[in-house]
Chains A and B, each alone.
Chain A
Amino acid sequence: MIRFENVGLRYGMGPEILRDISFQIPPSSFQFLSGPSGAGKTTLLRLLFMSLKPTRGLINIFGKDRSRISPRDLPMMRRRIGVVFQDFRLLDHMTTYENVALPLRVRGREESSYRADVSELLKWVGLGERMHVLPPILSGGEKQRAAIARALIEQPEILLADEPTGNVDPPLARRLLRLFIELNRLGTAVVIATHDLGLMEQVDARRMILSNGRLDIYD
């Protein structure tokens, strides 16, 4: 589904932040992306989400060469990828429901066509009663789940989550992890960037460890 071959990335004329990164993300796979702070986890996620271009190497996403995807085609490609940002990025003037429905709304779909789906998904992530609440009133965990729901609403082929348990307590972290496992069971590939070892020990999944710009993979 996604393939990186000898990918490198540098800032301007500075040293390479990522060096010779090669890996594949098969459909319906589950993997953790880990490494110390500043190792480049977020940068690698941004490469996966096509919000950055590599300075060298080949990235193939959904069968297309990243360097040949035009800006016009990027939105359609991104719709196949769900992203959960570390800082949630919910819009404060919209309710939880409206935030989760946003990806469908920007595609021009009528609300009546997705109302039931959004409500069902919100119940699935445990926000059924917080549907019409504005984000500033939500707790950190609730915001995280709303962000996850927004990433899932279009049933993406792959979900990228950047430190999804970074702002929640261990019980909620376990619950969110179960959510990701359930999602994976239903066929979505999942990449979770985290440096929470406790979280990774709960699941027997592939681990991609970034260190000094290089990637080691432990299947």
Chain B
Amino acid sequence: MIEMPAEVSAQAPAAREAPQERAQRRTAPIVPAGNVAGRALILVIAIMTFLSCLTLGAVSLVRDTASVWQNQIAREATIQIKPSDGLDMEAALADAAAIAGNFPGVKAVRIVDREATARLLEPWLGSGLNIDELPVPRLVVVTIDQSSPPDFPALRAALAGKIQGLSLDDHRTWVDRLVTMARTTVMLGIAVLVLMLSATVLTVVFATRGAMAGNGHIIEVLHFVGAEAKFIATEFRRHFLLIGMKGAAAGGAAAIVVFVTFSFWSARNLATPQADQATALFGNFAIGATGYAGVALIVLVIGALTAATSHFTVVAYLNDLEFRQPDG
């Protein structure tokens, strides 16, 4: 070590105590922990993560709901028997139920009785309806084994051969329409999610680069004191990973709070007309484990993205320092 000249030795007593003081103070990080740009970046990341997670939750909800609609309708088929002269409706219903009930792929059959049929017509014909006075078709609900559905043409032929004025509706038209609608809705949702994630990626990249712009002097000093590019990039990457994770975790947590609140509201208002409407459309407002996993994934991806952006910005800055030509 360099010998100390006499002229500065007078300062020695105070300086001798310094190492002990240092031991009690934590060494400042190479990249300063918090500044305005850093806080703004956390806020931007939090907002974009929140919006991305909401979009993901909405897409997840629509996808689950569409799947439920599809399954519920595909689970049942309906036998309809139209009244005609000389037809013993009750016997025909019993025959149809017996034939269908013994058919492979049918789990259960249920005859819609007079009272239930009257209730179905109540909105149009009013209460106190005597069903025998009107030529009202009667229904048999057939519950299908979804894992091995029955051969509908064969079932239709078996029923039609025994009972007149019978038709079997396997809801195929409805199911096909719903499947198409559900797929379209999910595709639209995914397109919106992709747009939202792209916007998030670009916003995070530009906001990180903006925050990095204020740190150029630190990169330069580290470069000139002989720090290797890897060391400098690691310091910045670690710092910005922390910023990214903080912002993304805040945004993700806020989105989860929104999901949980809606789910709670939906559960609490289960019996009310508004909730029934909402539930009929969207299920119970729960995004499920996949949705929460998606939120966690978005948080991780955004954190990693922030770190990667800072890494590439540092590398570009160092290349510029190393290879730029004289500027005066």
Contacts and interface: CB of A to CB of B under 8 A. Distances in A.
Interface stretch (A23-31, A57-65, A68-76): A68-76
Contact of A121 (B1, B225, B326, B327): B1
A188 to B, nearest CB: 9
B231 A126 contact: no
B4 A124 contact: yes
A111 B27 contact: yes
- How big is chain A's contact interface, by range? 35 or more
A12 B15 contact: no
A155 B3 CA distance: 12
B176 interface: no
Contact of A132 (B9, B18, B32): B18
Interface string B14-46: 110011011101011010100000000000000
B5 A132 contact: no
Contacts of A90: 221
Interface string B257-280: 000000000000000000000000
A97 B22 CA distance: 9
B2 A98 contact: no
A115 B11 CA distance: 17
A2 interface: no
B321 interface: yes
Contact of B2 (A49, A95, A126, A152): A152
B28 A93 contact: yes
Given A94-B28, A132-B22, A123 B221 contact: no
Nearest to B225: A103
Contacts of B32: 93
A89 B326 contact: no
A155 B226 CA distance: 13
Interface in A45-88: 46, 49, 51-52, 71, 74-76, 78-79, 83, 85
Contacts of B289: none
Contacts of A52: 325-326
Contacts of B22: 97, 111, 115, 131-132
A168 interface: no
B293 interface: no
Contacts of A115: 19, 22-23
B133 interface: no
Contacts of B151: none
B322 interface: yes
B272 to A, nearest CB: 57
Given A122-B15, A129-B15, A132-B21, A78 B224 contact: yes
B325 A106 contact: no
A106 B14 contact: no
Nearest to A115: B19
A75 B220 CA distance: 12
16 contacts: A51-B224, A74-B322, A75-B227, A75-B228, A78-B226, A83-B224, A103-B226, A105-B27, A106-B226, A106-B227, A123-B8, A126-B8, A126-B11, A132-B25, A175-B7, A183-B2
Given A94-B28, A132-B25, 15 more contacts: A52-B325, A75-B227, A89-B220, A91-B221, A102-B221, A102-B225, A105-B30, A106-B226, A115-B22, A119-B18, A120-B4, A128-B12, A128-B14, A175-B7, A178-B5
**Among all A-B residue pairs, the 10 with the closest Cβ atoms:** A128-B15, A106-B227, A128-B11, A79-B226, A93-B32, A103-B225, A123-B15, A78-B226, A129-B14, A126-B8
